[in-house]
Chains A and B, each alone.
Chain A
């Protein structure tokens, strides 16, 4: 399974990449904003995406919408600070399947991704 990481924080991208690399996922890309993430997604077609919500250029919600338009079967995990639940819910309504609040531990992340890959339905 290939993974695209979208987050404007260098530290968070690194942390996710390390944790999920160990978990056995192949990193298909590390992107810092929504627009580049969509382009990268179109080329690499990863099966799973971790998505920050507040980013420059194009925010996470719009990015989720565009990525889902390209591939409706992609699994998306929103990884964002839990400051505004309403925004996060909007993101999930656009087609993400799960939410992980920052800060998170490696175990939290692996559990969440495991859950995300487990089923098509809750």
Chain B
């Protein structure tokens, strides 16, 4: 069950990078992260999940990755607001597509954007989370899926 859902999320992220960034993100070796030690990079878009299973899914990216992505998209304004916007856009796209995939099974929230290595991402549960490292043009990001 987890595997299928993970594949859907990974597929959605890859689709986003392929579509918006010209090439798919390489998926690193997935592992399990303790809830209090999950990777958090410069910008993070968090989607809350409720319904039959509770938890959250987030994509966290390095500033450099977002910069490269903005460049690729032809953006010249590299303000803080634009980074946050892009991180939000990634999470938004993934959450929107996830709704289509999961239908009523999951209730998927509007993404929340977290800036910086804050400890504000408090996981809604104490289970180990799946961490899927992503590499896009030498830059790093990660998809984190934490479901009860």
Q: In the complex they form, do A and B come into direct contact, defined as C-beta atoms under 8 angstroms apart?
A: no
- List chain A positions with a Cβ less than 8 A from chain B: none
- List chain B positions with a Cβ less than 8 A from chain A: none
